[in-house]
Amino acid sequence: MVFKGQTITLSLDTDVDITGYDGFILYTKPNGVSGEWEGDVDTDTVSYDITDTDIDVAGVWRVQAKADDGNGDVKYGKIQVIEFREHL
């Protein structure tokens, strides 16, 4: 279980080698607001350390890894869902 305001490392797999690419994690909040975090690439995974202020809306978030080589080759992972809950 993950809570709003919690700090965690989010790692998302792309199922392909993305070494040398710039990594991002795309997100859509429960209220429909979208954005991205710049992440770290390790072989086929994009990781981002979520801070205590990144998750500002409780509910179900949609997240997806994105890797861009800067020359037009862009790879995406599968869309994942994570529920962030409110503390009591």
Tokens of 54: 């990144």
- Assign 87 a pLDDT band (cuts: 50, 70, 90): confident
Domain assignment of residue 77, given as a range? 2-85
Spatial separation of the C-alpha atoms in residues 54 and 82, rounded to whole Å: 14
Predicted TM-score (pTM) of this structure: 0.93
For the chain, percent of residues with pLDDT exceeding 70: 100
Total domains in the chain come to 1
Residue 28 has pLDDT above 90, yes or no: yes
- Give pLDDT tens digits for 29-69: 999 999 999 999 999 999 999 998 999 999 999 999 999 99
CATH code at position 64: 2.60.40.10
Spatial separation of the C-alpha atoms in residues 2 and 21, rounded to whole Å: 29
